Structure 1
Amino acid sequence: MKNIILTTLNSRFSHSSLGLRYLYANLRELKPQAEILEFVINSSVQTIAEQILDKKPKIIGIAVYIWNAFDVGELVKIIKKVSPETIIVVGGPEVSFTPRRVNFDVVDYIISGEGEDSFYTLCKEILDGTCTQPKVIFSPKVDFEKIALPYDDYTDFDIKNRHIYVENARGCPFECEFCLSSIETKMRYLDVDIFLNEIDKLWNRGARNFKFIDRTFNIKISYAKAILDYFLAKQEDYFLHFEVIPDNFPEELRGLIKQFKPGCLQLEVGIQTLNLDVAKEIHRNLKIDKIKDNLKFLSQETHAHMHIDLIIGLPSEDIESFGRNLNQLYTLSTGEIQVGILKKLSGTTLDRHDKVYGMVYNDSPPYDILKNDLISFSLMQDMKRFARFWDIIYNSGNFQKTTALLFEDGKVFENFYALSKWLYKRSESTYKISLDRMAEFLYEFMSSKHEKELIANTILEDVMKVGGRNIPPFLKKIIPQNNDFTQKDVSKANKRQQLRSE
């Protein structure tokens, strides 16, 4: 039995909640009465409720995010029906701002903002029977250097099986209107020596998989250098993920990044658009020349694996502009290009564009755009399928040589758009398409414009890059069986990154 259960639904089993561990670490004398329980979205909500209530908690604290808001809404309804006396407290970005588009009327308290101090105070008052808090608690920003750090509260199981999320800064200096991070433009940093001491303790316990949630890791070069130096001194293999801004890679940082071995470093690079007029409309500052130079450097002179973000549906940007962005990025980088659909998150200032550009959004998570004055609903649906097929064909790395052939005329967007339209008509689905089936679809589509033997051999070479794969049955009928293909043994954990880096 525990008086306090801290819980959330992560998007994957391999993920862990840093926010829950911050709350847990700052419960002070109440910490022995608390326990963290983590679940995964799309699990049975009733089973989750059962496992939580088995602990007979007096208080349940739930972290709510865009990916789990609907499931959490269902979870709290069930808990309140089964155990109405149990106090439910929700917090996190999805409930910190209005409008709250998922109904949380049945919860007892909503903590809006950073909850490390507020959650402790609320729990103490509830357990003492002295609580006079309002239902919505507007929590001020904490003193980042004075709150308890959560890293000792990662369990040995977490370290062995999950990504370890860490942060050495909060806030973002930029004002991009689609992003919640733009709400706090003043940066708050932990002392870098204190932070690295926590990392060192995790490392000594066996942690080798670190995801930094700092929005702009390379904004303060001295901090970035200290952290990179720490890991470069290690001899064992590890994996680091950073979110970086694309225009701030001075020579001192470049020299360090060039030293990382393949498979160690992943960079999420926020581009969103290369159209300066569109960027200005959403308060995003772009330095195009620096971005081009840095992407070229990262692609040609480092082993860093890149995720480069582009967004469909930004105010004032039509599909032709998005297509030019994609065509250009393809020439600048060999990394993954993450094609995202614009979402309107509560708390951002995107709504100021709604009337001007006819922006219409889904009222349910993930609050994605449905149409605007430049992109019809039908075309937006096409682009959502485009994004899905782009991920499973191009970003996966499974068809690297095949897509290079598809894009050989430089018309990346135009050719892939035609492919995605054809694929959806042919398959009537964007999910549960096997590798062999997709290979056959690509052969069927491309053989109308390319020499069939060339297409078949290119697809076969792509498919057989990973050791242990079998030749797709349809190719056995086309290609002589005496062909010799070298099969490379690719680590399963980093297969996607290694495929794209070759």
Structure 2
Amino acid sequence: MISKNCLFIRPPFEGMGKYKPPHLGIASIYGYVKNKFPEINFSFIDALVNNDSVKSIVDYIEKNRPDIVCFTVKTMQVDQTRLIIETIKNIYSPKIICGGNHISVHPEDVIKSGADYAIIGEGEVAFYKILKHILYPEFMIEPFEDCNIVTKENVDFINPIPKIELKGEKIPTPDWSIMDLSYYNENIHYNKGEIALPVMASRGCPFQCDFCSTHLTWTVNVRYRNPKDVISEIKNNIKVYGIDHIHFYDDNLMINRNWMIDFLSLIESERLNFKWICLSRPDIILKNRDLLHRMKINGCKGFELGFETEDEELYSKMNKKNTKSTFKLAYDALMQENFEMIEFLIMCFYEGETLYSIYATYQQLKKYKKQKALFVMSRYFATPFPGTKYYNNVMEKGINISQGNKHKYAIFLNYIPYSFLDSKMNGFRIRSETLKLQLKFRNLDNIIYKEEIDKIQKKVSSDNFCSLFNRYASNKATIGEMCQGLFEAMNNKINKFAIYEYIGRMIEFAIGVGAVQYHEDFL
């Protein structure tokens, strides 16, 4: 058998800024197949760390001509991936394999662009079977109904349902040797100057929040790796890479109480010293409150928690399956144990969001900021991702601001609900000096319509924006009427989507930096 070259690619996308996490999925698949195929030379191109364009990736592939090209694809990468595939297939004919969140929902997007195989759900076993078939064509892949592999033969009649291929104890340990970890800066928020590595102890989430797509890849069935294997992975990270900070990527690390007890017992028996954070839910934290102290003394520095919104009705719409009061109780429990870091995950512009609900959310966050834990806030914009309940429920209840897939990422304002545009502005005012000062230190980031918003900002200063907002508020107008007024003031020459993005982002920014006041005297 002649050796073959297999190239993994994380395609280009926007919006990560300085944050550059290594790709856990690629490392896991590589860890699974590396020793099974000694005749294959594996390599990896990461557009995130190299700032690669579509053209530079195409040039690299054309020059090196790998036999197998593999893409990991999220929704905001699908257009770029399709362009690379179509261009390369016009140059030569490598075997092309695609997987990732978007492919699990819409495998036809890449198959119809020329990919040979698409993988739905977790990828290790499917990837192994595909490589086996490429190397040894007599090795037949099962019909689609028996596996999670899509080809051009079955793409037109598939029903994408992720399949569990690996039980918990069979989930592989990632092999980071395929990438140069010196290029990455994953961290645990507690100390961003210290590099961390991601670890997943489990796959799957039973809760199915309406906006979340994780179950479309990992299913709702939670399966855990052997805690001894997770401990071995952490020990290897320390020994081989000198990295003793761990960022658990599990959707809910604490959902299996017995697993957590065994994990903590192993840390204690082996006297391991490492720092870590994890994602959890308020109700699960309260059910396992007696474990919090033990987690703390065994290196846990804090938690990532889905705060989402202060509005109870809005929170319920997200299908979070608990209440805002539960969040407060869980937070108090964490504070009693003196955890150093709590990250609040915020979801803005969800369908049903209003001007007042955003304001109330940020007002409540100010109260949490005053407490003693390191307060980290990660603000995201509600994005209707394909395949989610949110996507199916809200596309007629708001405006899809971004066209195409390139900006389908929750750090961009993709979607603005009519509930927000219909919000009455009376009762609100913006303080011009506060907004102007804050805009000197940081401007709007991750903008979709950059050029058009630059044009708006050249004509509309922060003082002008405040005056415009306050005038419409005094007249008891809606935000939608303010958008229409600005559109007309710009002589209808600016894309209206850009107007929505500009006003939505400016209002949320002003609220976030404390420039917005609400008072009954303004009503």
Name the TM-score, length of structure 1 as normaliser: 0.68
Cα distance change on mapping 1:220 and 1:236 into 2, 3 Å: closer
Question: How far apart in 1 are the matches of 2:434 and 2:110?
Answer: 36
Contact 2:350 2:417 in 1 (8 A): no
**Partner of residue 88, structure 1:** 96
1:98 aligns with 2:106: yes
Question: How far apart in 2 are the matches of 1:418 and 1:190?
Answer: 54
Question: Could you tell me which amino acid in structure 1 is paired with residue 29 of structure 2?
Answer: L
The Cα shift of 1:182 comes to 4.3
**Partner of residue 259, structure 1:** 297
Q: Which one of 173, 195, 201 corresponds to residue 236 of structure 2?
A: 201
**Partner of residue 477, structure 2:** none
**Partner of residue 440, structure 1:** none
The Cα shift of 1:341 comes to 0.5
Determine helix, strand or coil for the equivalent of 2:165.
coil
Contact 1:175 1:283 in 2 (8 A): yes
Question: How far apart in 1 are the matches of 2:119 and 2:388?
Answer: 18
Question: How far apart in 1 are the matches of 2:345 and 2:98?
Answer: 30
Contact 2:107 2:118 in 1 (8 A): no
Q: Which one of 144, 149, 164 corresponds to residue 172 of structure 2?
A: 149
Cα distance change on mapping 1:355 and 1:54 into 2, 3 Å: closer
Cα distance change on mapping 1:155 and 1:357 into 2, 3 Å: closer
Q: Which one of 1, 4, 7 corresponds to residue 6 of structure 2?
A: 4
Question: How far apart in 2 are the matches of 1:313 and 1:187?
Answer: 30
The Cα shift of 1:345 comes to 0.8
The Cα shift of 1:161 comes to 5.5
Question: Could you tell me which amino acid in structure 1 is paired with residue 36 of structure 2?
Answer: E
Q: Which one of 47, 50, 53 corresponds to residue 56 of structure 2?
A: 47
Question: Could you tell me which amino acid in structure 1 is paired with residue 7 of structure 2?
Answer: I
Superposition pairs of residues 36-185 of structure 1, within 5 angstroms: 36-41=43-48, 42-83=51-92, 85-98=93-106, 105-130=113-138, 134-135=151-152, 136=155, 140-145=163-168, 147=170, 149-154=172-177, 157-158=180-181, 163=186, 164-183=197-216, 184-185=219-220
Contact 2:8 2:42 in 1 (8 A): yes
Q: Which one of 394, 404, 423 corresponds to residue 354 of structure 1?
A: 394
The Cα shift of 1:45 comes to 2.8
Unaligned runs of 5+ residues in structure 1 are: 380-410, 433-443, 446-502
Superposition pairs of residues 383-398 of structure 1, within 5 angstroms: none
> CA offsets, 1:230-254, max 9 Å, x none?
5577888744231111333333222
Question: How far apart in 1 are the matches of 2:319 and 2:230?
Answer: 32
The Cα shift of 1:87 comes to 1.8
1:345 aligns with 2:385: yes
> CA offsets, 1:375-427, max 9 Å, x none?
239x9xxxxxxxxxxxxxxxxxxxxxxxxxxxxxxx9x977998457756x79
**Partner of residue 375, structure 1:** 420
Determine helix, strand or coil for the equivalent of 1:151.
coil
Question: How far apart in 1 are the matches of 2:45 and 2:338?
Answer: 36
The Cα shift of 1:211 comes to 2.0
The Cα shift of 1:169 comes to 0.9
Q: Indicate the larger mover: 34-43 or 44-53.
A: 44-53
Question: Could you tell me which amino acid in structure 1 is paired with residue 297 of structure 2?
Answer: Q
Cα distance change on mapping 1:33 and 1:197 into 2, 3 Å: same
Question: How far apart in 2 are the matches of 1:114 and 1:16?
Answer: 18
Contact 2:301 2:339 in 1 (8 A): yes
The Cα shift of 1:355 comes to 6.0
Contact 1:298 1:304 in 2 (8 A): no
Contact 1:217 1:244 in 2 (8 A): yes
Superposition pairs of residues 191-340 of structure 1, within 5 angstroms: 191-205=226-240, 206-228=242-264, 238-249=274-285, 250-259=288-297, 265-299=301-335, 301-333=337-369, 335-340=375-380
Question: How far apart in 2 are the matches of 1:162 and 1:338?
Answer: 17
Question: How far apart in 2 are the matches of 1:315 and 1:99?
Answer: 28
Question: How far apart in 2 are the matches of 1:64 and 1:31?
Answer: 26
The Cα shift of 1:283 comes to 1.6
Cα distance change on mapping 1:330 and 1:416 into 2, 3 Å: farther
Unaligned runs of 5+ residues in structure 2 are: 142-149, 187-196, 447-461, 464-523
**Partner of residue 365, structure 1:** 406
**Partner of residue 471, structure 2:** none
Question: Could you tell me which amino acid in structure 1 is paired with residue 234 of structure 2?
Answer: I
Question: How far apart in 1 are the matches of 2:110 and 2:36?
Answer: 33
> CA offsets, 1:310-351, max 9 Å, x none?
111212221211221221132134512222111111110113
Question: Could you tell me which amino acid in structure 1 is paired with residue 415 of structure 2?
Answer: L
Q: CA RMSD in A?
A: 3.9
> CA offsets, 1:173-211, max 9 Å, x none?
212100012443221112222332333333332332322
Contact 1:95 1:110 in 2 (8 A): yes
> CA offsets, 1:275-328, max 9 Å, x none?
222222232222333311222343464243222011112122212112212211
Determine helix, strand or coil for the equivalent of 1:247.
helix
Cα distance change on mapping 1:257 and 1:332 into 2, 3 Å: farther
Question: How far apart in 2 are the matches of 1:162 and 1:232?
Answer: 28
1:430 aligns with 2:436: no
Structure possessing the higher relative contact order (Cα contacts under 8 Å, 6 or more residues apart): 2
Cα distance change on mapping 1:31 and 1:366 into 2, 3 Å: farther
Contact 1:62 1:90 in 2 (8 A): yes
Count of matched residue positions in the alignment of Structure 1 and Structure 2:
398
Determine helix, strand or coil for the equivalent of 2:235.
helix
The Cα shift of 1:70 comes to 4.0
Question: How far apart in 2 are the matches of 1:276 and 1:31?
Answer: 55
Question: How far apart in 1 are the matches of 2:108 and 2:356?
Answer: 34
Cα distance change on mapping 1:161 and 1:360 into 2, 3 Å: closer
Contact 2:72 2:99 in 1 (8 A): yes
Question: Could you tell me which amino acid in structure 2 is paired with residue 7 of structure 1?
Answer: I
Question: How far apart in 2 are the matches of 1:100 and 1:50?
Answer: 25
Cα distance change on mapping 1:166 and 1:229 into 2, 3 Å: same
The Cα shift of 1:102 comes to 8.4
Question: How far apart in 2 are the matches of 1:347 and 1:97?
Answer: 6
Q: Which one of 20, 23, 26 corresponds to residue 20 of structure 1?
A: 26
